[in-house]
Amino acid sequence: MPVDILVGTQWGDEGKGKLIDVLTREIDMVVRFQGGNNAGHTVEIGDKKYVLHLVPSGVFRPNVSCVIGNGLVVDPVALQQEMQALAERGLDISVVELSDKAHLIFEYHKLADALKEEDLEVGRKIGTTKRGIGLAYADKAARTGIRAIQLTDPDELEVLFREQAEKYNELFADANSQLMDVEAEWRKVKAAAAFLAPHVKDTVLTVNRAIRAGKRILCEGAQGALLDIDHGTYPFVTSSNTTAGGACTGAGIAPKHIGRVWGVMKAYTTRVGEGPFPTELTDHSGEALRGVGREFGATTGRPRRCGWFDAVASRYSCMINGVDKLAMTKLDVLDGLSELKICTSYEINGQITADMPNDAKTLNVVNPIYESMPGWQCSTATARSYHELPGAARRYLERLAELVGAEIAIVSVGPKRDQTLTVQAI
């Protein structure tokens, strides 16, 4: 059975958590493959709302195994808290496996993340989630990181942790910044290690055994393609490969096993944090989208910047991910608008292009060229089939799909499971 991948196609928060939850009806295993607790994936089931940061969004379905893959950076204290909170709400967390090769985030990474951001001048700040993501990936690349396997050997973990903590404290001292309390942090890490040790596994083996056994596997992306460290709006990106290719390295799955790629795409655009955003609406219409769409970060609570659908960026994203099927989300948020705009190309120094510029400086000054479509001005939230949607809504979605060059398989008209319309067989 080929392995499917689900990724965000914009700047994150497209509704990946909801879609993973919906799709896991037919799935045996969900594997996260990159990022860390910078992610905030919201799943609403009945009147209950859950926000997941590290645990895969398959955890709500009985008998679905949940793997936190080797490509992640994992804050052990945050993961312990998240798993305990889920257990307190009656969920079975024994299904969660943490890759022994995943790298660990400690308090010193978070402090260094915050310090780095403070030091950057306005215009160069990334607006990170301050979860220590970039610093932990930097340690991984520098080969000084500490991996989850060490959670099973507390004595060795303590030596490594103290060594790194001292090194970071020297940097904090040099910067006249507050030092980390090594003893207090070690106590938290030690407790988290004891809690997590039984979950630490060779997940590459787990996943490949499941592939051989014909299990249905879905890889859960975090962030969005435009935040990819290689292909996103560098340097205003996160520090991992958020695109579909990241699933192979981040989970230990050979490319030949990959089947379909799901692209989750919001019917408009949002971005949280700094960086270029050509179709951003900085006036009252952006505020209105934020209000109706409840666009506030699921991890940091920051207001998300909102704007029109950007078909240039989304087409690029579908290309680099090889999106086979689109799940269009948050259509209902546009219900009240009389006119909708779609950015179909950019004007750069008098030249029109439909290609995504590679550098943030250029993207900051592009002039988006729009086409307009009429709105439908009635509620779509109660529609339960694609054909129940107003004609103008269907025409809008079909135009987006045509522009980005992929097919719509699912339309989402609200956060709940039953607000999900299947357009074609999935």
Hey, which residues are catalytic here?
13, 41
Interface with ligand GDP (CB under 6 A), residue from 105, 247, 298, 340: 298
* Contacted entry of Mg ion, ligand IMO, ligand GDP, none for residue 129, CB cut-off 5 to 8 Å set by kind: ligand IMO
Residue 375 to residue 340: CA distance in whole angstroms:
6
By CB under 6 A, which span of 30-38, 212-220, 245-253, 326-334 interacts with ligand GDP?
326-334
Tell whether residue 67 is a contact of Mg ion (CB under 5 A): no
Contact 314, 10 (CB under 8 A): yes
According to CB under 6 A, which residues from 146 to 165 bind ligand GDP?
A: none
Interface with ligand GDP (CB under 6 A), residue from 5, 9, 10, 18: 18
Smaller CB separation from ligand IMO, 134 or 245: 134
Smaller CB separation from ligand GDP, 243 or 412: 412
By CB under 5 A, which span of 91-99, 184-192, 294-302, 343-351 interacts with Mg ion?
294-302
* Contacted entry of ligand IMO, ligand GDP, Mg ion, none for residue 127, CB cut-off 5 to 8 Å set by kind: ligand IMO
3-8 and 103-104 beta bridge pairing = unpaired
Residues that bind ligand IMO (CB under 6 A): 8, 11-13, 38-41, 126-129, 131, 133-134, 222-224, 227, 238-239, 272-273, 298
- HEC profile of 217-253: EEEECCCCHHHCCCCCCCCCCCCCCCCCHHHHHHHCC
Tell whether residue 44 is a contact of ligand GDP (CB under 6 A): yes
In the complex, the smallest distance separating the C-beta of residue 14 from ligand IMO, rounded to whole angstroms, is: 7
Residue 119 CA: distances (Å) to CA of 43, 109, 167, 207, 238: 36, 15, 19, 41, 18
Smaller CB separation from ligand IMO, 73 or 343: 73
In the complex, the smallest distance separating the C-beta of residue 411 from ligand GDP, rounded to whole angstroms, is: 8
* Contacted entry of Mg ion, ligand GDP, ligand IMO, none for residue 131, CB cut-off 5 to 8 Å set by kind: ligand IMO
- Residue 374's φ and ψ, nearest 5 degrees, are -70, 145
- The residue at minimum Cβ distance from ligand GDP is 42
Here's the x/- map for Mg ion, 22-41, by CB under 5 A: it reads as ------------------x-
What radius of gyration, in Å, describes the C-alpha atoms of the chain?
A: 21
Smaller CB separation from Mg ion, 14 or 100: 14
Q: Which long-range contacts (CB under 8 A, 24 or more apart) does 120-127 make?
A: 125/274, 126/235, 126/236, 126/237, 126/273, 126/274, 126/275, 127/236, 127/272, 127/273, 127/274, 127/275, 127/302
CB burial readout 219-257, b (16+ within 10 A) else e: bbbbbbbbbbbebbbeebbbbbbbbbbbbbbbbbbeeeb
Number of residues that bind Mg ion (CB under 5 A): 3
- Residue 381's φ and ψ, nearest 5 degrees, are -65, -25
In the complex, the smallest distance separating the C-beta of residue 367 from ligand GDP, rounded to whole angstroms, is: 29
Interface with Mg ion (CB under 5 A), residue from 112, 146, 264, 298: 298
Smaller CB separation from ligand GDP, 15 or 278: 15
Q: Tell which residue, 171, 184, 199, has the closest CA to residue 111.
A: 171
Question: What are the residues whose beta carbons fall under 8 Å from the beta carbon of 223, sequence distance 6 or more?
Answer: 8, 11, 12, 34, 35, 38, 39, 238, 240, 242
Contact positions vs ligand GDP (CB under 6 A): 8, 12-18, 40-42, 44, 298, 329-330, 332-333, 412-415
